[in-house]
Structure 1
Amino acid sequence: MKSKAFFSDPTRIVDHMCGSLAAQNPSLRYDDENKVLFRPIDQNEKKVSLISGGGSGHEPAHAGYVGKGMLDAAVCGKVFASPNFDQIISAFDRVATPRGILVIVKNYTGDKLNFGLASETYQAQTGIPTNIVTIADDVSVPYSRGKLVGRRGLAGAVIVHKIAGAAALRGLDLSQVSKIAQHVSDNMATIGCSLDYANLPGGHDQPSIPENAIELGMGIHNEPGAQRISPQPTIEQLVGNMLKLLLTESDPEHGFLKFQGIPQDQSELVLMVNNLGGLSVLELQAIANVVLEDLKNQYNIVPIRIYVNTYLTALDAPGFSITLANLTPKIFPDTNLLSLLDEPVKMASWATCHPLPNPAERSNSPQHGERARSPAVKQNIACDKILFTAVLQKILAQVTTDEPKLTEYDTLMGDGDCGTTLLAGAKAAFGIAEENDENLANLAKGLMKIASAVRSGMGGTSGALYGIFLNSFVSAVQRNFEDIKEVNIQLFAKSATQALETLKGYTNARENSRTLMDALIPFVNELSKAVFTDNANSSEALQKAVKAASDGAESTKWMVSSFGRSTYVGAGGGEDPTKGIPDPGACGIVSIITAIQSGLQSPK
């Protein structure tokens, strides 16, 4: 299946789209190099900045919601592809304020990692606080199938944009805006369906959903749905199935929308019926009425607000999604969420609605485009530059030796780039020493330079994971040095523990998941135990921690993968070729920490 299109080049279409939005709204600017549409912040506003984004193809999300009262910047990746670190950092630079930045992302691995890496890096480099709220409102995938990766982010993200944007404009601080956004995200649910897949610009022929079938729970990137229904049900049957998944709170696999003991028909529910891109206005409005009738007839629910329009699409997918957000005041008494939702904004993409009775009643400012970044290494933590250089040299030597083995393992388990990617990161880090960089005489500055070099040198998922850990480690070192006052094993152990907790916030991988976490977690935990419980000296503590990491990596030989491309190895039947092979990511961690131990104990 392939339809004709006016744009055959998917890279040009994003620029033209953003250029059009900027031309229509004189308060917006477009950074075409980094594909960032932003509203220059008036520093007198003294507000928290809101940033969102992701792959293009979901318009009007997210660029269409940049404007006063919603987003301050949207980062546009390629079609259905996450934006990269440099693009996201550019958005931070453009709209940051001292009050902080709230990042709102949908729950997809690339978005979480790249926005997370940028957030941790920016906070470490500037001292400007950042928070992330991840939208995961899809209810179509059963809990048991998605418990590790979580629920996908869908059209509910736009409701969070609107409410959080209004809260920020009122002057609430970062923790308050984040709390509101998280609450709204936690109390909404979405399910979508489509008659067919979307057509990608410049794409080749693609498979089609059979003529007399429909995909229930289809993702917004052409991912398969949770269920293919054939023959195609009537719209009444389809909507009935969708609402059942949304509203059956007792369903252990799909009952994500909670009512906290308040009857559904007394709850203040917001309804959004969203066009996934390929429906006519006539059909969308007709579908919305079927939804409203079923809510009333089957559940005695009359929504407090009704939004029917094109809010978040999957290009031209001929489908729709239904979102219900529970804004009942008794569940969140701190703030009137409905008033935030009703706050007027001037942007064409946000189609407002008329206020409706609640359940009880039923029985242009100055603009600045300067970048906000300023150096913010808070602590001058003197360290031995020669020793620092020796450790980096040991890491490069060890990873160079181990790279062929790591590549061999990853060729069997994944895409074969684990060894070469890790080596690229080690070379990038040692490159700082080769430049005789004076920052290596300052522990915080040196670590920050290394974090930046590793992130740029490695790229991809592993680069984001290492980058998040290292940037968080830098921040922790600076905080903890204020109390510890010297560079010692206690400083490293405490900071590593805090960095690990930060990393856990961006991935569900833990021990026994056949990932680098199988080595990193035992290393950090054993280091902390050895230092703070066993009172071991630095040499003994490192020896115990490296042994724990090595044992952890060895234990992955017989594990079943839960994350990454190796998850699919052997899924087609037959003998799993990875049995008896340790996880290359975990082995990479062991290579690095073994080298660190060697460099600290025998620097020459």
Structure 2
Amino acid sequence: RVASPPGEGGTGAGDSAEASTTMTKRFINKAETVVQEAIDGFVLSTPNVTRIDGFPDVKVVVRSDWDKSAGKVSVVCGGGSGHEPSFTGFVGDGMLTAAVCGNVFASPSQDAVLAAIVASTGPAGCLLVCMNYTGDRFCFGIAAARAKNEYGLNVRLLVVSDDVAIPDAKQPRGLAGTLFVLKAAGAAAATGLPLDTVEAQAAAVSAGVHSFGVSLGICTLPGAEKQEARMAADEMEVGLGIHGEPGFKKMKMGTADEVADIIAKRLLEKVDKKADLALMVGNLGSVPPMEMSVMTGALLQRVRAKFLVGPAPLMTSLDMNGIQASVLQLGEGMERLLLAPTAARAWPAAVTPAAPKLMPMPLKQAPAEEASPVHDPMIKDAIQRACGALAAAVAELNELDGKVGDGDCGNTMKTGADAIVALLPRVSTKSPKATMAAIGRSLNSLGGSSGVLLSVMFTTMAGALAEDAQWSREVLGPAFIEGVATVARVGGAQPGSRTMLDVLSPVSEAFARGAPAAELAAMAKEKAEATAQVTSTAFGRSSYLNEESLRGTRDPGC
């Protein structure tokens, strides 16, 4: 199981359970000092913030441009670390005055919370916000009482519980929706409103915000051993918190649209169907930006949001591969608070999602394929079989490319092969010139250097052929050589450089001089295998690797 304290009340990294033998790879020095070092890195790189000199027990980030005697309410929040940018990233004019940090997934001490309050609070008072976890409620509540009793400060405590994972839960957890509350409180406080009003407006937002999370994997604590998988390869957890604890239930892994259906259904159950909504889409840690954009689009199709915050890392769970969405039902005055400016570094400005007016394609359209193409059955069949062979080699090519590149060569080749096969019925395969031109066009939008170079080769071959050219070695041989030469000229490589030219150059020359098919196939295989012995090159994907990485590994482009 994953280390999963019951909310922020746990003891943090020490809760790690059931060790395995594999340590996770992390850019840290020591697990014991990772929070302090992260805070130092943040204040060094962020204007107008500093920290209280209280390490290791007191870990508080506070605005350095704040004057607590200026008559404005301070807004303080915090919790365990591991949720970055929450909460240090939201310190700044218009949002948090101070953020108090515990150890990873552990509540900050009451002394740390008290220090944050005292450092930031003047006569106007303080709104102290915490998420609904047992440890946080205790520590923040005691600190608020001590601030009043020991320092005479006016402190109001607001506990946020926006989780909707468990129906009718008596103590819903605090999740990323807390950030909507902090944004509203900070905006209200920045205008000089009194504590009663700041508290009331923040409480209204807290009552109207709801959050729900989905994850495809667990998170791992800094310095901890890698944990056993809690989910099967085809499973996901829905309704989870932000501390690595199990979700409300496991489900079979779904598509982005299916996951969006689950999230949207649960969130929309909690809001008025006619109300204006703000949607927040947060990355729980390690979801690639591309997938975050896919999920955001899917959610916006289902949630009629007037405003969108994200997608962005907002309240993470270390390296968790998951997302969390929050909806806020916009009540009176909330829109103004949401859109108010803030200097908080991690807050992405709310935008109004709208489908843009698309720009017309400025490029000339490719010539239309023939309405009544004339086919050569043998040529058409040969092309289809060649494309089928490429499609069947996806896994092998990806594996080879993973050793020297980004691991997508097989996918790229299959995409190109599929495009050619789809185009064939509309091309007169009786004509070599028309066939080569069509293949060149189909590969032009393939992307990557391979797609471009292969497109150049076939396009050059088409240009070298006469309109009435026939399928013969005498006609195609010189065109093949010219196409390969153009690839060399455009790409800059030569045979022996661990590129496709290692095969194309000798095979094109052998083809032109009449070598039989069996000899050409054997030569192609031999030259491809020989790339495994080339350990130094200035061209292609292999140019970025050292000799050790290249030795014994074939180039996937061959």
| Short-chain TM bin | 0.5 to 0.7
Structure 1 length normalisation: TM-score? 0.53
Change (3 A) 1:25 1:238: closer
Matched residue, 1:61:
86
> 3-state DSSP class of the match of 1:303?
strand
The aligned residue for residue 291 of structure 1 is 299
2:74 aligned to which of 34, 46, 49:
49
1:8 is displaced (CA, Å) by 5.6
Amino acid in the other structure paired with 1:75: V
**Partners of 1:8 and 1:202 within 8 A in 2:** no
Cα-to-partner distance string for 1:498-552 (whole Å, 9 max, x where unaligned): xxxxxxxxxxxxxxxxxxxxxxxxxxxxxxxxxxxxxxxxxxxxxxxxxxxxxxx
> Hey, what does 1:139 align to over in structure 2?
164
For the pair shown, the structure with the greater C-alpha radius of gyration is 2
1:343 matched to 2:340 = yes
User: Offset at 1:236?
Assistant: 1.2
Q: One-letter code of the match for 1:287? A: M
Where does residue 159 of structure 1 map in the other structure? Answer: 180
Does structure 1 retain, via aligned residues, the 8 Å contact 2:95–2:344?
A: no
AA of the residue aligned to 1:135: V
Aligned to 1:277: 285
Note the alpha carbon deviations across 1:118-157, whole angstroms, 9 max, x for none.
00111112221111111111101121xx31xx10111111
Distance 2:254 2:351 in 1: 32
Q: Among 127, 133, 142, which residue is 1:108 paired with? A: 133
The alignment status of 1:324 with 2:327, answered yes or no, reads yes
Deviation at 1:26? 3.6
Distance between the aligned counterparts of 1:112 and 1:15, measured in 2? 23
Counterpart of 2:63?
Answer: 39
Q: Which residue of 2 aligns with 1:362?
A: none
Q: d(CA) in 2 for partners of 1:348 and 1:100?
A: 24
Q: Please give the per-residue CA displacement for 1:268-302, whole angstroms capped at 9, x wherever unaligned.
A: 1000010001111111111100111123xxxxx24
1:306 is displaced (CA, Å) by 4.2
Partner of 2:233: 211
Q: Provide TM-score, normalisation by structure 2.
A: 0.57
The 1:3/1:303 distance shift into structure 2, 3 A limit, reads farther
Matched residue, 1:189 = 210
> How far apart are 1:45 and its partner, in Å?
2.9
Post-superposition, which runs of at least 4 consecutive aligned residues in structure 1 deviate over 4 A? none
User: For residues 405-484 of structure 1, what are the structure 2 equivalents within 5 Å?
Assistant: none
Counterpart contact for 2:307–2:351, Cα < 8 Å:
no
Q: Is 2:223 the partner of 1:226?
A: no
Offset at 1:108?
Answer: 0.5
2:125–2:154 Cα contact (<8 Å) kept: yes
Gaps of 5+ in 1: 249-256, 296-300, 330-335, 358-604
Contact map agreement 1:269 1:328 (CA 8 A) in 2: no
Choose 22-31 or 101-110, whichever is displaced more: 22-31
Contact 2:24 2:224 in 1 (8 A): no
Q: What is the CA–CA distance in structure 1 between the aligned matches of 2:215 and 2:337, rounded to whole Å?
A: 31
Deviation at 1:84, TM superposition (A): 0.6
Q: Which amino acid aligns with 2:258?
A: Q
Residue 98 (structure 2) pairs with residue 77 (structure 1): no
Partner amino acid, structure 2, of 1:119: A
What is the aligned counterpart of 2:36 among 5, 15, 18?
A: 15
CA shift at 1:54, angstroms? 0.4
Corresponding residue SS for 2:328: strand
Partner of 1:423: none
Report the residue type matching 1:20 in the other structure: G
- Structure 1 CA distance for aligned equivalents of residues 50 and 309 of structure 2: 31
- Given the superposition, is the C-alpha separation of residues 44 and 114 from structure 1 closer, same or farther in structure 2, using an over 3 Å criterion? closer
Provide the secondary structure at the position in 1 that maps to 2:100.
strand
Seen in structure 2, the aligned counterparts of structure 1 residues 87 and 302 have a Cα distance that, compared at 3 Å, is closer
Whether the aligned pair in 1 keeps the contact of 2:281 and 2:312 (CA below 8 Å) is: yes
Could you tell me which residue of structure 2 aligns to residue 93 of structure 1? 118
1:205-254 per-position Cα deviation (integer Å, ceiling 9, x unaligned): 32312211000012110111111002x12221121112111112xxxxxx
Given that 1:2 and 1:199 are in contact with CA atoms closer than 8 Å, whether structure 2 keeps it comes out as no
Answer whether contact 1:270 1:304 (CA < 8 A) is retained.
yes
Q: In 1, distance between residues paired with 2:305 and 2:197?
A: 30
Q: What's the secondary structure of 1:179's corresponding residue?
A: helix
**Alignment partners' CA distance in 2, 1:304 and 1:29:** 32
**1:237 equivalent in structure 2:** 258
Deviations 1:371-391 (A, max 9, x none): xxxxxxxxxxxxxxxxxxxxx
Gaps of 5+ in 2: 1-21, 355-558
* Deviation per residue, 1:296-327 (Å, 9 max, x gap): xxxxx243344321110000100001110001
Find the residue that maps to 2:278 and give its secondary structure: strand
Report how far residue 198 of structure 1 moved.
Answer: 0.6
Q: Deviations for 1:38-71, whole angstroms, at most 9, x for unmatched residues? A: 0143145311111111000000000111111111
Q: Secondary structure of the residue that 1:175 maps to in structure 2?
A: helix
Whether the 8 Å CA contact 1:10–1:78 is kept in 2: the answer is no
Report if aligned partners of 1:54, 1:81 keep a CA contact under 8 Å in 2.
yes
% identical aligned pairs: 34
